[in-house]
Structure 1
Amino acid sequence: MTEASAPILLFDSGVGGLSVLAELRAQLPDAPIIYAADNAGLPYGNKTEAQIAARVAGLLGRMTERYRPRLVCIACNTASTIALGMVREVLEVPIVGTVPAIKPAAALTETGTIGLLGTEATIRQGYVDRLEAEFAQGKRLLRHGAPGLVAAAEARLRGEPVDRAAYARAAAGLRDQPGGETIDTVVLACTHFPLVERELAEVFGPGVGFVHGAQGIARRVAHLTEGQAFVRTSPDLALFTRDGEDVAALLPALAHYGLNRMEIL
């Protein structure tokens, strides 16, 4: 039987998974949460698949042993598309991953042209190819790796100014491809990107909608924990793999998301 105080562990390379946490709070307000950010490994997008798989599996192994979560949510598209299978093999807790929201985007598009913004590691995965083949047949899916948006989202949450050019470059990366002018739906295939959706909407202009998987992930977590008791015996925890001034600068944003304790792994 699951301990009522056993937390849900949300894992991301940085603070992008806070977009998932916001949805999870809406559905499971009483669930104790540990939000784990591998900021020592950030960014994941420029690492090899082998590096990411080994790092994610190793860290989640240590975290589950120490904190005994009832469920682990990998709130990171890059880590999920690469390491989800390996993690499920080695951990004996339910694992929820994050996948690019190509299925809902295909249902929404009216022009038939979908843009996908992700990390460079995510957009090259065969997993994305399979999602495209299954759900976006007859559509055009244009992909662009936008690592600058990860840095922009992290900086924005630290309260630092962000150069608007970072958002314009991401939009141009899709718009400048053949057929890019007809994009009407953009998949935000990195959990960092919904944190800057408003800024992206400004540079893409009217007539473009955005989709991401946070609500679906939260629904899946709620389904897997249905009927379980939740008791919060201490304030929810933000866990980092590296300390530093940039982490301290995040404290107000973390508190906004209900994370009122911080530890370094």
Structure 2
Amino acid sequence: MILNHLKKKLIKKNIKTNSFIHPTILVFDSGVGGLSIYREIKKISPDSHYIYVFDNEAFPYGEKTEEFIINRVFEIIKAIASKHLITIAVIACNTASTVSLTKLRKHFSFPIVGTVPAIKPAIKTTRNGIIGLLATTATIKSKYTKELINQFAINCKIVQLNSSTLVQLAEKKIYGKKPSLNKINQIIKQWITMPEPPDTIILGCTHFHLLKNELKKVFPHKTKFIDSSSAIAKRTIWLINNQIEIKFSNEKNFAYCLSINKNLRKLRFVLKKEGFISLKQLFI
């Protein structure tokens, strides 16, 4: 476990340890899709202190400009860092990661882990060489995504599909509304009706992880679904364990949103089930 590993490091430095202090992991997303990444990290490190931040005021990010996303994410992370000692930040949003990581890493001293389309794992998985990238408009258009494809997928055919509707369906699922398989089928119909459909689908948005069961029902039986949640979790813990100086917290897990509204009633209950004892409003 991560806490035991860190305790050993502290003992070697003759620093007293306390079982109630933990590294603080900040997980950020435009909505609740980032909970899929949080869950994977928590499997490895259940004792860490978690802060979950979602920008429900500007959600969804998929159709926003790069300039807006970069500035927005920067201001949010800066606001959190001014209030809490952050050990590591995870940008659990493909859209935000593909455009804002450079600025974030230049400004903040703590490590920042991004979430980007899992191109390389998909290439290793595909059997027919046709890979579907399911993502937001901003992720597909980003320079980072294009570079990943040009660098690693020259021998594969990458078909791309953006859908803000799928993002909304995933968000509503967290709030308790069952996703419509008919709507999902209409969105991905152009792939299914191809002479040879993609046999491997990259879930290029953390919201889509939440729809994996529904997507499996509408795609051909042997279709493989690739996401980066497990790799992100392992990378996050590795970076914490290998930090020279680690910031600790004795706080409880809690969440921040950018806007308090009536839709949060159900979400408060969901967040409590996920381990977040309170939901606060963040002002930037």
Distance 2:58 2:275 in 1: 24
SS at match of 1:153: helix
Structure 2 counterpart of 1:216: 231
Whether the 8 Å CA contact 2:62–2:136 is kept in 1: the answer is yes
Q: What is the CA-CA distance between 1:232 and the residue it aligns to?
A: 6.7
Structure 1 counterpart of 2:180: 163
Structure 2 counterpart of 1:101: 118
SS at match of 1:210: strand
Whether the 8 Å CA contact 1:171–1:200 is kept in 2: the answer is no
SS at match of 1:30: coil
Structure 1 residue runs of 5 or longer lacking an equivalent are none
The change in CA–CA distance for 1:30 and 1:135 in structure 2 (over 3 A counts) is: same
Q: What is the CA-CA distance between 1:233 and the residue it aligns to?
A: 3.2
Q: What is the CA-CA distance between 1:149 and the residue it aligns to?
A: 1.1
Paired amino acid for 2:89: V
Whether the 8 Å CA contact 1:143–1:174 is kept in 2: the answer is no
The change in CA–CA distance for 1:173 and 1:93 in structure 2 (over 3 A counts) is: farther
Structure 2 counterpart of 1:206: 221
The change in CA–CA distance for 1:5 and 1:28 in structure 2 (over 3 A counts) is: closer
SS at match of 2:53: strand
Whether the 8 Å CA contact 2:85–2:247 is kept in 1: the answer is no
CA displacement, residues 121-144 of structure 1 (integer Å, 9 cap, x when unaligned): 101112111111222221000010
Q: What is the CA-CA distance between 1:227 and the residue it aligns to?
A: 6.4
Distance 2:174 2:58 in 1: 18
Q: What is the CA-CA distance between 1:234 and the residue it aligns to?
A: 3.8
Structure 1 residue runs of 4 or more that deviate by more than 2 Å after TM superposition: 1-6, 161-166, 173-176, 227-235
Paired amino acid for 2:199: D
Paired amino acid for 1:209: K
Structure 2 counterpart of 1:27: 44
Q: What is the CA-CA distance between 1:13 and the residue it aligns to?
A: 0.2
Query: Superposed, which structure 2 residues align to 1:45-124 within 5 Å?
Result: 45-124=62-141
Paired amino acid for 2:100: A
SS at match of 1:7: strand
Paired amino acid for 2:235: R
Distance 1:189 1:167 in 2: 16
CA displacement, residues 81-137 of structure 1 (integer Å, 9 cap, x when unaligned): 011101111212111111101110000000100001011110111211111122222
Within the candidate set 140, 153, 159, 1:142 is matched to 159
The structure number with the bigger radius of gyration is 2
Distance 1:161 1:207 in 2: 24
Whether the 8 Å CA contact 1:31–1:230 is kept in 2: the answer is no
RMSD between aligned residues = 2.1
The change in CA–CA distance for 1:6 and 1:25 in structure 2 (over 3 A counts) is: closer
Structure 2 counterpart of 1:41: 58
Whether the 8 Å CA contact 2:29–2:55 is kept in 1: the answer is yes
Whether the 8 Å CA contact 1:32–1:230 is kept in 2: the answer is no
Structure 2 residue runs of 5 or longer lacking an equivalent are 1-9
Whether the 8 Å CA contact 2:56–2:258 is kept in 1: the answer is yes
Distance 2:180 2:71 in 1: 34
Deviates more, 1:101-110 or 1:155-164: 155-164
Structure 2 counterpart of 1:197: 212
Whether the 8 Å CA contact 1:23–1:214 is kept in 2: the answer is yes
State the percentage of identical aligned residues: 35
Distance 1:192 1:169 in 2: 18
